[in-house]
Chain A
Amino acid sequence: MATASKAPRATTRRLSSPPGTLGLYAKAALPLIPGASNLPFVAGAGGRIPRTTLTLDGVRTDRDQLAAYDRVCGFTLRDELPSTFVHVQAFPLHMALMTDGKFPFGAVGLVHLRNRITQLRPLGADERYDLRVHTMPIQPHPKGKTFTIVSEAHVDGELVWQDASTMLRRGKGDTSAPKPSKRQSPPATPTCPAPSELPFVALWKLGGDLGRRYGAVSGDRNPIHMHAYSAKLLGFPKAIAHGMWTKARCLAALESTLPDAYTVDVTFKRPILLPAKVAFAAEDGSFAVRNRKDDTKIHLEGTVTAA
């Protein structure tokens, strides 16, 4: 664990409008510059995660953005929001939290490990809702440290949607930390087959511009997704598909089978280098995105359960 002087004080910051992600990405990239983290307004210097809660009230849905999002992810355009779309709405708040000067890591280069969304009822596209976003304490991990950002959507004080995104900061790992594969994915049982065993459902052809297209509809313009050149600067051979696009695409494929209230939980196993052809496999609420030729190479695995 990081050395801590004293426990951070809990604060709540109320935002009046969603922060622009483009400026935040510039800010997010600053910790990559050697020494920049010593500056008070640049993230990466702190040892603990600040106990800040960001709130944004009265969030509205831009119908054009929803239509563009649905098209890129494969959802049918409806008057209800896909549960992953609310994540996109909360994303600027994630960025604002992670680019805060007191935040211990830089946001660029973080690896998305897991995302779990519970929708208690579908949100209507004309409903206004309040977002609350806060971060859970740092956890040790064999490959570094992890933390989880929790987001909630409320309508008139009623919780309707919750999202937990777990991020990995690569670094000196804690070998005593439980291995993620054991902690996060239980072994195959007769009712829950291993992702490599799930029956093939579809072949997806992902274009080289997918990262840019999803970046445009989601505001997540992390350079690792945008272009092979920018991805190379950050250590990836090619641009990689957004984990949350891949999750949304899975959810869109399962659209007709979803109940109104459900939890969809996925772990991101290995990046999808763009362009790509990948296999989608699913059965009885379990699903996976796999290498199209090698069923044992898993990009994403997940489950949907009624909530």
Chain B
Amino acid sequence: MTAGPRRVAVIGGNRIPFARSNSKYAHASNQDMLTAALDGLVARYGLEGERLGEVVAGAVLKHSRDFNLTRETVLGSRLAPETPAYDIQQACGTGLQAINLIANKIALGQIDSGIGGGVDTTSDAPIAVGEELRQILLDANRGRSTQDKLKPFLRFRPQHLAPAPPRNEEPRTGLSMGEHQARTGAEWGITREAQDELTYSSHKNLAAAYERGFNDDLVTPYLGLERDQNLRADTSIEKLAKLKPVFGGKSGTMTAGNSTPLSDGAATVLLGSEEWAEEHRLTPLAWFVDAETAAVDYVNGREGLLMAPAYAVPRMLARNGLRLQEFDLYEVHEAFASQVLSTLKAWEDPAFCQTRLGLDQPLGSIDRSKLNVNGSSLAAGHPFAATGGRIVASLAKALHERGGGRGLISICAAGGQGVVAILEA
């Protein structure tokens, strides 16, 4: 054990291109995709046969048979089979939280290296049988005699065969995430134009990043896909303006363009102590400085479902003695353009900052030219648990590229949660 916390290096990342739902990766499982991303990372950093401290990853939509998804992935990868692993799940915060857990263990000296990440598929989704049939099957399974085992089937009705796919809605409110954000966006007065503009920038920036080869050492092609399938390099404000609203009713402002599509993909990030990186002749891209997780009461507390990052960031800033403006790059995950804009507006709002955050002064605005400079989820797609790994790797590289600086990451998650982090190079 070392005396104090150690610096944690973000050494690099690797992901597979993100695919649109039921397309290129329709027949790939979570384990397939996570293995592809992990093996790409292993190859890139020469980790074949290496025993790492730990691998932490997770998926939001997971088959019950994948109870040990990450460990199974490690066993099927080129890492040493002696590398321990475990799964976590914190909705869309999964990837960043996994990386944070690795970073904390490295900082404490419990491990010297590790990989964090996540994967999700909306194509190979875990479909369950309906609740009635599930109860019948469970009761039959509990029966001891043949008669006990058969009796529950008297309750069986043909309509019980209808499958129960995972529901994209908050269990306590019955609303989809998009419907929640439509309410929050309306409260903050987020316009359609502003959302389409942010969406356009996301596509433009991601396309430019691919053009200049920025993603060459961040992305490994998979199943015939070389770039994120959702990327529309040729989109325009005019094209986006034509789309019909999908959330918030007929007068809604949220469309299939300015909301992230269902997607499939996986992302991983390699972290290590300074010494470990040196021993392995690897150059750190950035340092993982701090992270904070917040949650809001979106059920009874009249706060928006996706507003938790607005609370997490000021707490993390205070702990690090930083102002919101003291960053060179900002990575605010674009679950919906409306979510990003609501968060930025909340930080500018004196009333919100005073009553909700307990601050004397609002956090203020950010320089929008520093926001999501290499594109974000609106263009790349958003395979829930994979997004954290995509953002950490991309921001670390961008900070390294500019020769230093500080970056802020903000990711909102289902259940009224948010994970945020600071990287420095």
A interface with B by C-beta (< 8 Å): 199, 201-205, 253-254, 257, 282-283
10 nearest interchain CB pairs? Answer: A203-B174, A202-B173, A202-B174, A203-B175, A199-B302, A204-B174, A202-B172, A201-B299, A205-B174, A201-B300
Which single residue of chain A is at the shortest CB-CB distance from B131?
A71
A-B contact pairs, 19 of them (CB 8 A): A199-B302, A201-B173, A201-B299, A201-B300, A202-B172, A202-B173, A202-B174, A202-B175, A202-B299, A203-B173, A203-B174, A203-B175, A204-B174, A205-B174, A254-B300, A257-B300, A282-B300, A283-B300, A283-B302
What is the CB-to-nearest-CB distance from B280 to chain A, in angstroms, rounded to a whole number?
A: 49
Which single residue of chain A is at the shortest CB-CB distance from B299?
A201
Which chain A positions have C-beta within 8 A of B299?
A: 201-202
Which single residue of chain A is at the shortest CB-CB distance from B297?
A256
Q: Which among A203, A253, A283 has the greatest number of chain B C-beta atoms within 10 A? A: A203
Say whether chain A's binding surface is mostly helix, strand, loop, or mixed. strand
Which single residue of chain B is at the shortest CB-CB distance from A254?
B300
Which single residue of chain B is at the shortest CB-CB distance from A203?
B174
List residues 286-302 of chain B with CB under 8 A from any CB of chain A.
299-300, 302
Which chain A positions have C-beta within 8 A of B175?
A: 202-203
A201 CA to B175 CA, complexed, in Å? 9
What is the CB-to-nearest-CB distance from B354 to chain A, in angstroms, rounded to a whole number?
A: 21
Given A202-B299, A283-B300, 9 more pairs with CB closer than 8 A: A201-B300, A203-B174, A204-B174, A205-B174, A253-B172, A254-B300, A257-B300, A282-B300, A283-B302
Which single residue of chain A is at the shortest CB-CB distance from B169?
A203
A204 CA to B173 CA, complexed, in Å? 8
Which single residue of chain B is at the shortest CB-CB distance from A253?
B172
B160-188 contact mask (Cβ, 8 Å, vs A): 1 or 0: 00000000000011110000000000000
Which chain A positions have C-beta within 8 A of B300?
A: 201, 254, 257, 282-283
Which single residue of chain A is at the shortest CB-CB distance from B174?
A203
A303 CA to B254 CA, complexed, in Å? 36
Which chain B positions have C-beta within 8 A of A254?
A: 300
What is the CB-to-nearest-CB distance from B299 to chain A, in angstroms, rounded to a whole number?
A: 6
A282 CA to B173 CA, complexed, in Å? 12
Which chain B positions have C-beta within 8 A of A201?
A: 173, 299-300
B323-339 contact mask (Cβ, 8 Å, vs A): 1 or 0: 00000000000000000
What is the CB-to-nearest-CB distance from B164 to chain A, in angstroms, rounded to a whole number?
A: 13
What is the CB-to-nearest-CB distance from A96 to chain B, in angstroms, rounded to a whole number?
A: 29
Which chain B positions have C-beta within 8 A of A199?
A: 302
A283 CA to B297 CA, complexed, in Å? 13
Which chain B positions have C-beta within 8 A of A283?
A: 300, 302
A204 CA to B175 CA, complexed, in Å? 9
What is the CB-to-nearest-CB distance from A213 to chain B, in angstroms, rounded to a whole number?
A: 9
A283 CA to B299 CA, complexed, in Å? 10
A282 CA to B302 CA, complexed, in Å? 10
Which chain B positions have C-beta within 8 A of A253?
A: 172
A286 CA to B174 CA, complexed, in Å? 20
A282 CA to B299 CA, complexed, in Å? 10
B391-408 contact mask (Cβ, 8 Å, vs A): 1 or 0: 000000000000000000
Which chain A positions have C-beta within 8 A of B172?
A: 202, 253
What is the CB-to-nearest-CB distance from B169 to chain A, in angstroms, rounded to a whole number?
A: 8
What is the CB-to-nearest-CB distance from B241 to chain A, in angstroms, rounded to a whole number?
A: 28
A253 CA to B172 CA, complexed, in Å? 8
Which single residue of chain B is at the shortest CB-CB distance from A292?
B174
What is the CB-to-nearest-CB distance from B134 to chain A, in angstroms, rounded to a whole number?
A: 12
What is the CB-to-nearest-CB distance from B151 to chain A, in angstroms, rounded to a whole number?
A: 15
Which chain A positions have C-beta within 8 A of B302?
A: 199, 283
A254 CA to B172 CA, complexed, in Å? 11
A257 CA to B173 CA, complexed, in Å? 16
